[in-house]
Structure 1
């Protein structure tokens, strides 16, 4: 399951607003044969991607997926049906899908005779957390970022620009900027630092909207 979670992260910045999902396929003897992930919204889901790589080796095998296979027709067909068509005997999923439009894949597979079961996994929960939070609460997933010195300060004297963060942390921030929908900062920061709020030190998967909060 942890391998599937690592695969899911490859879709970060492209899969949204769909969840990031990863899938690993084992053959009937339990040997690894293929893996896949949800590359982009509107594209093949992780299970279909992995099954495409596995081919006939998936028959009577096991699919390990970070999120319960979907059970509805959207821009793509239901993953539960794709797994059934491939002849998979077992399906383990790390998170149950709370989305009422897509949930029910586990029940559908069990009704068809597939050994489908929830296998809780912290790694799967972490990679799916933004999606789970949005569906359950209706609120966006927020990442808070600030730089702080060892003595607990976030700035020097007023009007004195000074880097507190290092090159490694700045590179990480730019990677995250290239994967989110919006970047928000306060008017005080804008007036003091005049930040660009753009992605410059990493390849951007998307261009985030710049938002200034001026209460």
Structure 2
């Protein structure tokens, strides 16, 4: 298996963490060798993706490679540094997509290089950054990432004038909005919506 294919899979895995990381980045990781995938992992508020992948392998990983959507962390926060876990596991080549913009956690790539591990950065960086755009934007802008949702008719109306309409959006778009809600840390609505609709302000699958 090559690094690009492994990274594509890691990006797919990262999506399973949407709505579960509580302000932290979504991250996917794939451990692989020439024969294919050895193990996988993704971050969902507990252990980081790299550690999950290492634990899922349940075998000696000496000589294996790993593809990670975000640079491995180098600091000891809620969990030990992922860079240390990769070194201890015997991984020989680390591919990551996006450098960690968080000054507290960044530097894992340099730490791995100092330990003699081959490091390649920027693999599918554009794709991985788009998948993690909410967290990256919050770090860059130092504020929450906002998703603006509005449903309107072709003439710019949000409801029938006689209040007879329950929805003007279709089922597919409502399902998509439910997914967006599930990925969000908070939901804001106007007073008119509260008075007229009395919304639950939760995802439809909750």
Q: What range is the shorter-chain TM-score in?
A: 0.7 to 0.9
Is 2:95–2:123's contact at 8 Å kept on the other side of the alignment?
no
Is 1:23 the counterpart of 2:5 in the alignment? no
1:171 equivalenced with 2:190 (yes/no): no
5 Å-filtered alignment, 1:5-154, equals 5-27=11-33, 29=34, 31-40=36-45, 43-121=46-124, 122-150=126-154, 152-154=156-158
Equivalent pair of 2:17/2:26 in contact (CA under 8 Å): yes
Give the length in aligned residue pairs.
Answer: 199
Aligned to 2:90, the other structure's residue is in SS state coil
- Among candidates 151, 155, 160, match of residue 156 of structure 1: 160
Tell whether the 8 Å contact from 2:97 to 2:121 is kept in structure 1 after alignment: yes
Consecutive unaligned residues in structure 1, runs of 5 or more: 205-215
* Alignment partner of 1:182 is 2:186: yes
The CA RMSD measured in Å over matched residues stands at: 1.9
CA distance in 2, matches of 1:196, 1:35: 36
CA contact (8 A) 2:98 2:121 kept: yes
Unaligned runs of 5+ in 2: 1-6
- For residue 4 of structure 2, what is the aligned residue in structure 1? none
The separation in 2 between residues aligned to 1:32 and 1:193, in whole angstroms, is 49
TM-score, normalised on structure 1? 0.84
Bigger drift between 174-183 and 129-138 goes to: 174-183
Question: Matches of 2:76 and 2:28 in 1, distance apart?
Answer: 19
Moved more, 75-84 or 172-181: 172-181
Q: 1:49-96 CA distances to partner (integer Å, 9 max, x unpaired)?
A: 001122335211111000000000011110011011111111111110
TM-score by length of 2: 0.88
Deviation (angstroms), 1:185: 1.2
CA contact (8 A) 1:68 1:96 kept: yes
